[in-house]
Structure 1
Amino acid sequence: MDDQLDRRTKRTRQALQSALVALILEKGYDSVTVIDVAQRADYNRGTFYNHYLGKEELLSEIREDFLKGFEKALLAPYKGMQKVQATQTYPSILQLFEHVEGHKDVFQALIAVDKGLVYEMNSVMRESMRRDMHIEMEKTEPPIDYEIMLSYQMSATVGVIMYWAETNFKYSASYMAEQLIALVRARIDHITFKRQP
């Protein structure tokens, strides 16, 4: 009986989440009311309030779920492994892009409401990198500061994801993962000026 209730609760919440996302993309978050969300999900307002205090709490849950999936994607391919070579990080990069691709409506709705999501994605990855793994760098002169390197790597990843969203996801997740890996490994040869400074 409890399992049946849990499944029904989960179904209801998913319907309400999908409704809010669709409405944000159609008319913007500020124009959406609780009644709009309930009607789109084919429920009444009372059902909505049985699950959420308001649309802010619903949006917060959508955001939290998206970020949890983003963090999980980073580590999932390496379960049970002690270490991985830098040349073998494609699986986690691919899973990050696949997570965004699989939730692109959610991602676009969240970005439309809160530009701070970009910062949160960056923070989630950086915290996971600090807590769950350590990157061993080749020796350089001058030495590379670890925190600056983490910031650079995470900002590059989120920046490429944002570019992908701006193109309306015109490339596949695998293509984007390949491009990011190539960018991270590439060294700039030189710069040619198109016009004189």
Structure 2
Amino acid sequence: MSHEEQIDLRIRRTHHFLQEAMIELITEKGFEAITVGDIAERAMINRATFYRHYQDKYDLVARIFEETADSLVAHMLPFHKDTDQIDLEHPPEIWVQVFEHVAEQRHLYRAMLGKNGSPWFTARMREYIVKLILENEQRWKPSAGSRQQIDQALPEALPVMQLSHVLIGTIVWWLESEKRYTPRQIATWFWHFAFYGYLSARGYEVPLPGKDR
């Protein structure tokens, strides 16, 4: 192993220890009560080392979010173009992949999005979800009918913001639930709500359950 590789390994190890310390402390005492000293002590490093890597605890949370979002994108499978397969019992695979990712990182999301978590992380997560919804809305349209403006006063940004809150609420409920539900189950139930609520609010004709289109 070269000298540069050894340095890179040490940096990644330090980042891992600091991030794990942050997550543990959030679970124990809440984000707002945590200090840089607490994080450094839990990670068994000194404060000077912390500040060589991060500006403050908010910067650490920002980096955790960036790495988490990058991980989700890196592991997301290509979306199938066969949109005829998208119906109420077969949610778009992107949502299944999102919940699979959450399941793999459940320790992180439960800490960051829970009642003791980071409001900053939650806000960034919501922004990221809004982007995902808008990017994938075009893929949902074949499952619905034509579109019409049902309420001229309805702000166009409101339905997507409402749905982002629903998704985060679904994630938190799932992670805190005592029962074990699979990512595909949760994705399907979320999709039921999104299909009827979001698409209807956006003005699409959505078929009722059990009714022929």
Q: TM-score, normalised to structure 1's length? A: 0.71
- Structure 1 residue 166: Cα displacement: 4.2
Where do residues 136-155 of structure 1 align in structure 2 (5 Å cutoff)? 136-137=141-142, 138-140=144-146, 142=148, 150-151=160-161, 154-155=164-165
From 24, 27, 37, the counterpart of 1:25? 27
- Provide, for residues 128-174 of structure 1, a one-character-per-residue CA deviation record: whole Å limited to 9, x for no partner: 44457733343336457986665565454333223323426743323
* Structure 2: stretches of 5+ with no match in the other structure: 197-207
| Number of residue-to-residue matches in the alignment | 185
Partner residue, 1:114: 118
Where do residues 157-168 of structure 1 align in structure 2 (5 Å cutoff)? 157-167=167-177
Distance of aligned partners of 1:172 and 1:2 in 2 relative to their CA distance in 1, 3 Å threshold: same
- Provide, for residues 16-53 of structure 1, a one-character-per-residue CA deviation record: whole Å limited to 9, x for no partner: 00001101111222332323222222222222222112
Worse-matched range after superposition: 115-124 or 29-38: 115-124
What SS class does the counterpart of residue 181 from structure 2 fall into? coil
Identical counterparts, % of pairs = 25
| 1:62 and 2:64 are equivalent in the alignment | yes
Q: Give the Cα separation in 1 of the matches to 2:25 and 2:157.
A: 39
Distance of aligned partners of 1:103 and 1:139 in 2 relative to their CA distance in 1, 3 Å threshold: same
Tell whether the 8 Å contact from 2:110 to 2:176 is kept in structure 1 after alignment.
Answer: no
RMSD: 3.4
Partner residue, 1:127: 131
Partner residue, 2:189: 179
Q: TM-score, normalised to structure 2's length? A: 0.67
Which one scores higher on RCO, CA 8 angstroms, separation ≥ 6? 2
Distance of aligned partners of 1:183 and 1:133 in 2 relative to their CA distance in 1, 3 Å threshold: closer
